[in-house]
Structure 1
Amino acid sequence: MLLPRWAATLTLECLMRTCLPVFTLALVAAALMALSGCDGTPVETSAAAARAPTPAAKEFSGPVDVGGGRKIYLHCKGNGSPTVILESGFHDSSDTWNVTDTRPPVPNSPAVFPGVAMFTRVCEYDRPGTIRYTEPPTLTARSTPVTGARSLTGMVSDLNKVLTAAKVPGPYLLVGHSFGGMVTRLYAQSHPKQTAGLVFVDAFGTNMKPFFGKDWTAYLELLNHPGTAFDAKRGFETIDVDGAIEAVTGAQPMPDVPVAVLSKAKPFAVPPRTPKSLLTSLERAWPKVQQALVDLGPQTPHFLATGSDHYVQIHDPDLTISAIRLVVGRVRSGS
């Protein structure tokens, strides 16, 4: 379980009692309604469509009916193509894209979601069972709860359902933080014609397991049950991580689209109860994980977020926005 850099010395239980401003409650595994196209226009998938401007679109925020008696919260803003989709990490609601914790010379605003909305359409959403950065923190009530460990294919299906039901125009530039990178990666492999590009923000990878050896099971337990007040709550997000890795490695290859990778430079912040061996394995694995993401495509820029821990989008929002803008430019140029 990973925390922002300046919460590292506090217990998760203390954070849940709001000892710090709520946006420091970051629960990610190392470890989106505004309806562009709400007029019913079919989703465009060609390269030409990716370069073409989209009609002016209103901001939208609210639940989207995805069928089966379920609704998923979606929030979209801005105008332009490709539409950027922001995918949060393990246990995190979409709130992580709307808060900042910066130090000079990094500017304190804007956060990633409003920043990206300045130059293209951007959407974020709440996966069920994720944590809102509210006062006090709570599990999201904006998306219909689900129970049991989630499969990565099910999470990708949810993403596809909410984008389809809301008629969000593609193709999409998918931005995934931490385990959210696994969601965006499998989406790209499953829906290549709807994928315009990818940005991995200190993302989880498929080559993690060998670095942990016999401690892998303990690591997975820590990811799913990090020691928060929500661990035992019905509907709290848990994921079949082994199944997720198998789903990505067994899927068709990544589409030939622009990719960028952002990686942390500071150590992971973890709960005090984390065994030292797990943290050592995690830190040893992470550079290899990031390099494997860079190797997914040719001429992939790799940005090192010097001074940032795992929450690059919170500590370095300007760098994150710049990386997204770079890939948007490559998509629009057709490169």
Structure 2
Amino acid sequence: MSHHTTEGGPERADRTPPLGRYYEVGGRRLLLHRSGSGSPTVVFLPGGGTVGLDYLNVQRRAAELTTSVLYDRAGTGWSDRVDLPRGSAEVTDELHELLRVADVPGPYLLVGHSLGGLYARHYATRFPEEVAGLLLLDPAHEDYNAHMPPELVEMWNAWDPDEALPAELPAELVEFYRDELTLNMAEWPEEVRGPLVDRHVSPEWLAVGFQEARNLDQLNDELRQTGPMPDVPLIILTATGIDAFKRAVSQGVPEALLRAEIEGKQRLYTAVAESVSRGENRLLDDAGHATLHWRRPDAVAQAISDLLDTIVH
């Protein structure tokens, strides 16, 4: 399902967001939700297929410590539609401008999950004077596949998202997804959780998750060409568990390969943490890739608190 901008400007986001407000960036309305006060500001960058409000539980905990914001990239969530996929420079320029327009004070502690982790590192490399620290939750990385078993990479390369996402998903798959989301977001206020889960299981939002990460090779090339990450305090949280979401999207992948992927990313993330002077890789054995911030909000909040301590002192 592709989205094209209309003659009168960008396609408008659907429905009123349950939380947050709109700011205009490049002629598009982007959703941003802010709470807390103080500096540095914690900024959450969602993973592919997720949206800002998916991180409400950890954003609220961060807001007890300092200013804390979450947002939806253009083309995702409640922000205006845009053709996907996009390059990382465009995505990070957009966030840079959004923080300026919304008057969100720097410096920033960027919290990036999965694809958002790649964008967070790119932002820090492009705007080093604005970034005080990084928290990466199972981040996408340009060297990810190099640390994986070749047979697993072959399986990934053979996977065609157009074939993988039929026009209509089987009802039992949609119900599985709805149940998992509802369970994992049990502590969200109902007026947020209801619309959030409904939109997540809609064909449009499901398609967006696939569209946004289609150009991963291009994104990886952009990161390689940008130069080294600034030497800022860094914590990586590595999910070493295999949850229901992972099993659902990895059907047909042998257990041994799923374990080998975890070992490979552990080696990669340890190397990334060691590439800066104040870097650390923390392993979470009771969380999976997609559900890390839902299953272990305490670990995310602790890492934010530890980084703030490091930055402030």
When the two structures are superposed, what TM-score results if normalisation uses the length of structure 1? 0.68
Higher helix share: 2
What are the within-5 Å matches in structure 2 for residues 1-335 of structure 1? 61-67=20-26, 69-98=27-56, 111-130=57-76, 140=77, 142-210=78-146, 211=148, 213=150, 216=153, 219=156, 227=165, 229-230=203-204, 236-267=211-242, 269-271=246-248, 274-276=251-253, 279=258, 282-310=261-289, 311-333=291-313
Q: Are the equivalent residues in 1 in contact too, given 2:235–2:281 (CA < 8 A)?
A: yes
Q: Which amino acid aligns with 1:290?
A: Y
Q: Are the equivalent residues in 2 in contact too, given 1:261–1:301 (CA < 8 A)?
A: yes
**Structure 1 match to 2:7:** none
Q: Which amino acid aligns with 2:235?
A: A
- Structure 1 128/235 Cα, relative in aligned 2: closer, same or farther at 3 Å? farther
Give the deviation of 1:273 after TM superposition: 6.1
Bigger RCO of structures 1 and 2 (CA < 8 A, at least 6 apart): 1
Q: Are the equivalent residues in 1 in contact too, given 2:42–2:68 (CA < 8 A)?
A: yes
Give the deviation of 1:150 after TM superposition: 1.7
Q: Are the equivalent residues in 1 in contact too, given 2:240–2:262 (CA < 8 A)?
A: no
Give the deviation of 1:279 after TM superposition: 4.1
Matched residue count: 251
- Structure 1 182/322 Cα, relative in aligned 2: closer, same or farther at 3 Å? same
Q: Are the equivalent residues in 2 in contact too, given 1:172–1:195 (CA < 8 A)?
A: yes
Give the deviation of 1:181 after TM superposition: 0.6
Give the deviation of 1:185 after TM superposition: 0.2
Question: In structure 2, how many angstroms separate the alpha carbons of the residues matched to 1:122 and 1:171?
Answer: 12
Q: Are the equivalent residues in 2 in contact too, given 1:88–1:177 (CA < 8 A)?
A: yes
Identity of aligned residues (%): 27
Q: Which amino acid aligns with 2:132?
A: A
Q: Which amino acid aligns with 1:286?
A: K
- Structure 1 178/234 Cα, relative in aligned 2: closer, same or farther at 3 Å? closer
Q: Which amino acid aligns with 2:31?
A: Y
Q: Which amino acid aligns with 2:226?
A: A
Give the deviation of 1:316 after TM superposition: 0.7
The residue matched to 1:193 in structure 2 has which SS?
helix
Q: Are the equivalent residues in 2 in contact too, given 1:150–1:239 (CA < 8 A)?
A: no
Question: In structure 2, how many angstroms separate the alpha carbons of the residues matched to 1:91 and 1:330?
Answer: 31
Give the deviation of 1:71 after TM superposition: 1.5
When the two structures are superposed, what TM-score results if normalisation uses the length of structure 2? 0.72
- Structure 1 217/238 Cα, relative in aligned 2: closer, same or farther at 3 Å? farther
Give the deviation of 1:293 after TM superposition: 2.5
Question: In structure 1, how many angstroms separate the alpha carbons of the residues matched to 2:51 and 2:35?
Answer: 17
Q: Which amino acid aligns with 2:87?
A: S
- Structure 1 213/73 Cα, relative in aligned 2: closer, same or farther at 3 Å? same
Give the deviation of 1:96 after TM superposition: 2.0
Question: In structure 1, how many angstroms separate the alpha carbons of the residues matched to 2:208 and 2:292?
Answer: 28
The residue matched to 1:90 in structure 2 has which SS?
coil
Q: Are the equivalent residues in 2 in contact too, given 1:129–1:236 (CA < 8 A)?
A: no
Question: In structure 1, how many angstroms separate the alpha carbons of the residues matched to 2:125 and 2:208?
Answer: 33
Q: Are the equivalent residues in 2 in contact too, given 1:128–1:237 (CA < 8 A)?
A: no
- Structure 1 186/112 Cα, relative in aligned 2: closer, same or farther at 3 Å? same
Question: In structure 1, how many angstroms separate the alpha carbons of the residues matched to 2:21 and 2:28?
Answer: 13
Question: In structure 1, how many angstroms separate the alpha carbons of the residues matched to 2:75 and 2:161?
Answer: 12
Question: In structure 1, how many angstroms separate the alpha carbons of the residues matched to 2:49 and 2:208?
Answer: 13
- Structure 1 162/251 Cα, relative in aligned 2: closer, same or farther at 3 Å? same
Give the deviation of 1:263 after TM superposition: 1.1
- Spell out, residue by residue over 1:270-300, the C-alpha distance to the aligned partner (whole angstroms, 9 max, x if none): 3266341674663343222322321231242
The residue matched to 2:247 in structure 1 has which SS?
coil
